[in-house]
Structure 1
Amino acid sequence: MAMHLVVSSELSFRIVVDLDYDGDDPFAVRFTFRLPGDEPVTWVFARDLLVDGLSRPSGEGDVHLRPLGEDLGEVDLLLRSPDGDARMRAAAAPLLAFLARTDLVVPMGQEAAAGDLDQELADILSTTGHENAG
């Protein structure tokens, strides 16, 4: 899909963003931003955050979403990193269509049944140098 990287109130650039969802990681969505001349940058955040952000201000920390306008037709996405902040604007319709497709893979509310959370936690801990205590 296309989003707009907002530089100022008068200036924005259209960029391509790939949206990805994997049923093996049912709680997360991935947005890969493709900026001309730069390597793609992927942000991973909660699918619930995307759902909530389409209708009301949502997010803490590095990712914030909020609808723009009273018709909820556009979304503001703020990404914060140590290297700086990036503000994106996007039409809500493609995001809603993406969420509908994710719901076909793993229905909302059924994420825990889709994966083995204990195994996923053990895998995460083993890759960060921690050992599984059993």
Structure 2
Amino acid sequence: MSGGRPTMTDVAIDLTVECVDERGIRHEIDSVLGYSVADPFAVTMTFVTSDGDLVWTYGRDLLMRGVHSPTGDGDVHVSPAVSYTGQAMVGIELSSPDGHLVLLARAVDVEAFLARTTALVAPGRESAHCDVDQLLSQLLAS
């Protein structure tokens, strides 16, 4: 699976997500949803595993839009969903050359997380928090 390296977060919530494997067996996966003002356009989803943490980074706006309607291109798709018990959920679909995973997170948890991120950086104001010099240094260093 594709990912990135962990970063310091200003907002983080522990989140248990559900997935169903190819045999139809439901699994719960511990994860952490994170947001940093230093990277205001992105959120991270860190999966805590016995082999180490796996971090996926994708757009905060993608998560915000996906809570209410299906959205996404490429490796990440987000959409509203309903659990088998009728609970409001958010579906997060991750794809990479290594595999494909569809996760369900409780909508109330995702919405609470997003409310905390928007209290720090309002949607549309992300660019005011970007350090262009630091970004250029990182790009040139890699």
Q: TM-score higher than 0.5 here?
A: yes
**Alignment pair present for 1:41 and 2:54:** yes
Report what 1:132 is aligned to: none
Identity of aligned residues (%): 37
Could you tell me which of 10, 19, 37 is aligned with 2:33?
19
- Work out whether residues 90 and 110 of structure 2, in 8 Å CA contact, stay in contact via their aligned partners in 1: no
> How does the TM-score come out when normalised to structure 2?
0.80
Alpha-carbon offset, residue 9 of structure 1: 7.6
Structure 1, gaps ≥5 residues long: 129-134
Alpha-carbon offset, residue 127 of structure 1: 2.1
Please state whether the residue corresponding to 2:45 is helix, strand or coil: strand
How many angstroms apart in 1 are the aligned matches of 2:116 and 2:23? 33
Report what 1:114 is aligned to: 129
Note the 1:72-91 alignment, pairs <5 A: 73-91=88-106
How many angstroms apart in 1 are the aligned matches of 2:90 and 2:36? 23
Could you tell me which of 51, 67, 70 is aligned with 1:54?
67
Structure 2, gaps ≥5 residues long: 1-14
Greater C-alpha Rg:
1
| Length, aligned pairs only | 125
Which segments of structure 1 move beyond 4 Å, counting only runs of 4 or more? none
Could you tell me which of 96, 113, 119 is aligned with 2:111?
96
Q: Which has the higher contact order (CA 8 A, sep 6+)?
A: 2
